[in-house]
Amino acid sequence: MITHPVPAIRTYVLVWVGLIVLLLLTLGSAFIPLGWGNAAINLAIAVAKSLLVIFFYMHLRSAHYVLRIAATAGFFWLAILLGLSLTDFVTRY
Amino acid sequence: MTEAVVVDRQFDDPLQQRKASDLGMWVFLATEILFLGAMFVAYTASRIHHPEAFAIASRLTNLTLGSINTGVLLTSSLMMALSVRSTKLGLRTASIVFLLATAVLGLAFLGIKFTEYYLDWRDHLVPVIDFAHRGPHAGEIETFFYLYFFMTGVHSIHLFIGIVMVLVLAWMAWRRHYSPDYFTPVELGGLYWHLVDIVWIFLYPLLYLVSRT
C-alpha cells in the first residue's frame, strides 16, 4: 500500500476560516463608499479567495510544474480573451 | 483489502497513470475556464458601458441569500477537500461522510438559489418572461438580469453535475473501489468541484456587490 503525504486537517480548516473572513471583508467593504475602489477591493478579494482554493484545496502548492503550467494556461488564455475583446469594446464608443 | 490497481498498457506504472489523469483534468479545467470566461467577458463589456444601470440592477439582487450561498459553497469545498484527504489515507467511512456532506451542501446551495429565482420572478425581474422594471435605465437593467440568469444558470448546471458526480463517488467509495493505491476519480472530482466554487467566488461580487452604498 502506498502512503501519501497529505496536509493536516488543521491546514484545510484554517484555509476555510480564511475564505470566510475574506467573504465577510468583501461583503463589509461593499457598504463603504469608495467609488471605483469598491470594484478593485471586490476583485482583489475574489482573486485571493481563488488562490487559496487553487493552492490548498486543488493542491497546486505541491503539484508538479506541468500541472501548474496547465492551470496557468487556462487563465493566461482567458486574459487574452478578455484583453483583446476589451480593446474593441473600450475604444469603440 | 484493496483491489489490484489496473495500469493501462500505455503507462509504465500507477504513478505515471495518475499524473496523466491529473494533467488531463487540468487541461479540461482550462477549457472550462475559457468556456465560462466568455460570459465574464460579456459581463465586463456590458458593465463598462452601463455602470449606473449595473449599480441599480445589482441592488435588486438578494444580498442576504447570495452571501449565505457563498458561505455554503465555500464550506462544501472544505468538505470535498477533506474527503480527498481521507480517501488518500484509506479512511473509507470518513471519505463517504465528507462526500455526502459535500452533496448536501451543494443541494442546499441549489435550494437557496432557486428560492432566489422564485423571489426574482415574484419581483418581475425575469427578462423576456416577466420583466416589469421601468425607469431611465430599464433596458440596461434588463441586460444585467439576462447576464445574471445566464451566468448563475450555467453555474447551477455545473453544480448539479457536480452533485451527481459526488453521489456516484460516495456510492463507489461505499463499494470499496478506492484505496490509498487508487483514488484518482475522487481527486479529479474534487478538482471539478473546486473550480465550480471558484466560478461562484467571482460571480458573487460581480452580481451582488456592484454598488451597495
Task: List the domain boundaries for chain B.
Answer: 14-208
Query: Does residue B163 contact residue B106 with C-beta atoms inside 8 Å?
Result: yes
DSSP assignment string, A41-74:
HHHHHHHHHHHHIIIIIS-GGGS-HHHHHHHHHH
Alpha-carbon distance of B77 to B98, in angstroms, equals 10
> What ipTM describes this predicted complex?
0.94
Q: H/E element holding B130? A: strand B130-131
Q: Decide: helix, strand or coil at residue B182.
A: strand
By Cβ distance, the residue of B23, B33, B202 closest to A66 is B23
Neighbours of B114 (CB within 10 A): 11
pLDDT digits (tens, 9 = 90+) for B141-153: 999 999 999 999 9
What's the confidence (pLDDT) of residue B128? 86
- Residue A93 has a pLDDT of 61
Q: Who among B44, B194, B201 is closest to A58 (CB)?
A: B194
Q: Which residues of chain B fall below pLDDT 50? A: 1-2
HEC string of B2-18?
CCCCCCCCCCCCHHHHH
CA distances from B202 to A50, B93, B153 (A): 9, 33, 14
Q: Which residue has the cell 453535475?
A: B161
- pLDDT, tens only, B4-17: 677 888 999 888 99
User: Cα–Cα distance between A35 and B150 in angstroms, integer?
Assistant: 27
Q: How far is B141 from chain A (nearest CA, A)?
A: 18
Q: What does each of the 93 residues of chain A score in pLDDT, given as a tens digit?
A: 567 788 999 999 999 999 999 999 999 999 999 988 999 999 999 999 999 999 999 999 988 899 999 999 999 999 999 999 999 888 876
Per-residue confidence (pLDDT) for residue B1, from 0 to 100: 45
* Per-residue pLDDT tens over the stretch B50-71: 999 999 999 999 999 999 999 9
Kindly identify which residue of chain A lies nearest to residue B180, measuring between CA atoms: A2
Cβ–Cβ below 8 Å for B201 and A53 = yes
The yes/no answer on whether domain B14-208 falls in CATH 3.40.50.2300 is: no
Q: Which of A30, A50, A78 sits opposite B34 (nearest CB)?
A: A78
With beta carbons under 8 A apart, name residues in chain B contacting A91: none
* Nearest residue, CB atoms, A73 vs list B30, B194, B211: B30
In B, minimum Cα distance to A72 occurs at: B30
Chain B neighbors of A38, CB-CB under 8 A: 209, 211, 213
Residue of B nearest to A26 (CA): B205
